[in-house]
Each structure stands twice: as structure tokens, then as C-alpha cells.
């Protein structure tokens, strides 16, 4: 049997996405979420050579800050260093190099990292790294490589991927009087219940958080709130290193690879 999963984008921006995934199961959506967190590759600074650091911060702190800066990740151009034909030495296929040279008084920002090629310029140039006072200097070289969120948070391109069951709200108008309608409207934390022509209606079902507060304040059976376990609202953001749609496509591809590997290992 082939399961056909249906996807509808509610909102797709460069760095965030909200979509409805239907005709599937919680296990599938959760697997996709886990892949986004742990397996999706991203470029981040791994090695830093300090030539001079007379700033108030230790080398290690600056190296850590540099590591956390989102870098543009083109997965078509880069391969992971441990799978590269250079044997892990570091070459143009697996490594992106940056230089930084600043003298105080100034604040060193992420945008001061100079890449070899313009295409690798940092995504957000305004992240402060360290403040230099008169005469203090920071001169360094940095190497960025692909990595995965499972190894370090700096390689996690997607933030807070999450899903919820698609809300289903059934209302039995005959069991609701004026007082109950008022109570329901008041108690709903998402303010999605409204009165229309003396009836209780739902204004935006997708905002429902399935808290079931409305069920508690009225007669049994008047309102039934449940989650559809075959339809999910899935949302996530990226740190800018990958476009939201690319992150989703790549995660789905990784998931496919995992299933293929599993099949092959079965012989
Ligand atoms: Zn290489």
C-alpha cells in the first residue's frame, strides 16, 4: 500500500514555514521534526586560528561566538569534510575560510568576517562578537565546515520545529444557552469562539490549542474538541543559513535515505 501524504503551505517565508501535512501519522511528522533538529547539515565555523587577541575575551569564548554565527549553507556546493576526497585535510569542496582583522575602539560584528568569496558572506552582519577598546586587536582566521545538530547546536539550522494535531471542534447548538455561549467565549485563551446570530461559532480553527477549556465550562456534549491524528499543523523557523523550503526538502530527502538504508540492511 502506498501512503500519499498531502502538503499545503499556510505560510512560507524565507526563514519560516507553516504547513498542513495530511493523510499521515504522528510518527512520520515526528520523524521529520527529529531529522530537522539532528540530521540536517549546516555550515558553521569549527576551527579558529588566532594571530592576535588583546580583546577582553578569551580565545575560546570568541571561537564559540564565531561558531554560533549563521553562515549561508549551499548543500549543492559543499560536502562534509569526513566524506571529502581531500581525506579530511580541508579543501574548497568541504571548507569555507574567513578572515577577520579589527582594531579598537570598535565593536566587532559578524559582518566583519571576510569570506574568500562574496557568496559565503554571513547571513546576519549585525551580530556583536566583542567590543575592542583603544589599541586592542583581534586578528584571526576561521574555517567553517558542514556539521549536524546532533553534534553541536551551532550546526542546527532549524529552530523549534513543532507540530500539533489539526483541531476539530464540534458544537451541538441545542445544548448551549446564552449563558454557556458567553462562558465559552470568555474562557477560550485563543479567542477563536464567537457568537453569530445567537449561535456559537469557531472563527479560526487552526489557532485552537486543544486546551478543551470550552468543554469544561458547558454542559457535557455541547462542545467536543479533539485533534485529528491524520492531519497536522507543522511549523518551524531557520536561522537563515538555509531557506525554509530548502530545509524542509533536504530533511525529507534525509528521511528517505534513512528508510532506504534500513531496507538495504534487511538484505
Ligand atoms: Zn575537502
DSSP state string for 118-182: GGG--S-TT-EEEEE-TT-EEEEEEEEEEEETTT-GGG--EEEEEEEEEEEEEE-GGG--HHHHH
What is the spatial distance between Cα 30 and Cα 185, in angstroms, rounded to a whole number? 32
Mean pLDDT score across all residues of the chain:
93
pLDDT at 178 (0 to 100): 86
Which tens digit of pLDDT belongs to each residue from 180-192? 888 889 999 999 9
* pLDDT value of position 244: 96
User: What is the Å distance from ligand 1's center to 243 Cα?
Assistant: 24
Rounded Cα–Cα distance for residues 235 and 30 (Å): 12
Interval between CA 84 and ligand 1 midpoint (Å): 5
Q: State residue 218's pLDDT score.
A: 82
Local confidence band at 232 (pLDDT 50, 70, 90 cut-offs): very high
**How many angstroms is it from 80 CA to the middle of ligand 1?**
8
Mean of the pLDDT values across residues 202-219?
90
For the chain, percent of residues with pLDDT exceeding 90: 83
Ligand 1 centroid to residue 87 C-alpha, Å? 7
* pLDDT of amino acid 198: 85
Sign of the torsion angle spanned by Cα atoms 82, 84, 89, 90? negative
CA 145 / ligand 1 centre spacing (Å): 9
Instruction: Report pLDDT for 1.
Output: 56
pLDDT value of position 4: 80
Query: Looking at the domain covering 6-38+160-234, what would its CATH class be?
Result: alpha beta
Give the pLDDT score at 104.
87
- List the grid coordinates of 3: 501512503
Q: Give every CB contact of residue 122 below 8 A, 6+ residues apart in sequence.
A: 69, 70, 71, 72, 110, 111, 113, 115
Ligand 1 geometric centre to CA of 262 (Å) = 28
Kindly state the average pLDDT of the residues 217-222.
84
What's the mean pLDDT in 150-164?
95
The residues of the chain that CATH labels 2.170.120.12 are: 42-155
Indicate the pLDDT class of residue 57, thresholds 50, 70 and 90. Answer: very high
Neighbours of 131 (CB within 10 A): 14
Task: Inform me whether the pLDDT recorded for 156 exceeds 90.
Answer: yes
Q: Read off the pLDDT of residues 1-49 as tens digits, 9 standing for 90 and up.
A: 566 889 999 999 999 999 999 999 999 999 999 999 999 999 999 999 9
- Given a cut of 60, whether residue 68 has pLDDT beyond it is yes
CA of residue 75 to ligand 1 center, whole Å:
14
Centre of ligand 1 from the C-alpha of residue 86, in Å: 4
Q: What is the pLDDT of residue 175?
A: 87
- The rounded Å distance from CA 82 to ligand 1 centre is 8
Could you read off the pLDDT of 117-153 as tens digits, one per residue?
999 999 999 999 999 999 999 999 999 999 999 999 9
Q: How far is the CA of 199 from the centre of ligand 1 (A)?
A: 66
The pLDDT of residue 70 is 97
Residue 229's pLDDT is 93
Alpha carbon of 174 to ligand 1 centroid (Å): 70
CA of 140 to the centre of ligand 1 (A): 21
Distance 184 CA to ligand 1 centre (A): 61
Kindly report the backbone phi and psi dihedral angles of residue 154, in degrees, each rounded to the nearest multiple of 5, phi listed first. -65, -20
Quote the pLDDT of residue 190.
93
Rounded to the nearest angstrom, the distance between the alpha carbon of 252 and the centre of ligand 1 is 26
Superfamily for domain range 42-155:
DNA-directed RNA polymerase, insert domain (2.170.120.12)
**Cβ–Cβ under 8 Å, residues 199 and 182:** no
* pTM, two decimal places: 0.87
CATH 3.30.1360.10 residue ranges for the chain: 6-38+160-234
Task: Please give the share of the chain, as a percent, with pLDDT higher than 70.
Answer: 99
Amino acid at each position: 500500500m502506498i501512503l500519499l501524504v498531502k502538503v499545503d503551505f499556510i505560510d512560507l517565508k524565507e526563514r519560516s514555514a507553516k504547513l498542513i501535512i495530511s493523510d499521515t501519522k504522528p510518527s512520520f511528522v515526528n520523524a521529520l521534526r527529529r531529522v530537522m533538529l539532528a540530521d540536517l547539515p549546516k555550515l558553521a565555523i569549527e576551527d579558529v586560528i588566532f594571530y592576535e587577541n588583546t580583546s577582553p575575551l578569551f580565545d575560546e569564548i570568541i571561537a564559540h561566538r564565531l561558531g554560533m554565527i549563521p553562515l549561508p549553507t549551499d548543500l549543492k556546493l559543499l560536502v562534509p569534510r569526513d566524506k571529502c576526497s581531500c581525506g579530511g585535510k580541508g579543501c574548497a569542496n568541504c571548507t569555507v575560510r574567513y578572515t577577520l582583522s579589527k582594531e579598537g575602539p570598535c565593536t566587532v560584528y559578524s559582518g566583519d568576517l571576510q569570506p574568500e568569496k562574496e557568496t559565503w558572506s554571513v547571513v546576519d552582519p549585525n551580530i556583536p562578537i566583542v567590543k575592542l577598546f583603544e589599541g586592542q586587536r583581534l586578528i584571526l582566521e576561521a574555517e567553517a565546515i558542514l556539521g549536524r545538530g546532533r553534534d553541536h547546536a551551532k550546526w542546527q539550522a532549524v529552530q523549534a520545529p513543532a507540530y500539533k494535531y489539526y483541531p476539530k471542534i464540534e458544537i451541538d447548538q441545542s445544548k448551549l444557552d446564552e449563558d454557556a455561549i458567553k462562558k465559552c467565549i470568555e474562557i477560550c485563551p485563543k479567542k477563536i469562539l464567537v457568537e453569530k446570530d445567537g449561535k456559537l461559532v469557531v472563527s479560526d480553527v487552526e489557532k485552537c490549542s486543544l486546551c478543551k477549556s470550552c468543554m469544561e465550562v458547558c454542559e457535557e456534549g455541547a462542545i467536543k474538541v479533539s485533534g485529528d491524528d491524520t492531519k497536522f499543523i507543522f511549523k518551524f523557523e531557520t536561522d537563515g543559513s538555509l531557506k525554509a523550503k530548502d530545509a524542509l526538502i533536504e530533511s525529507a530527502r534525509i528521511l528517505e535515505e534513512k528508510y532506504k538504508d534500513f531496507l538495504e540492511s534487511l538484505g
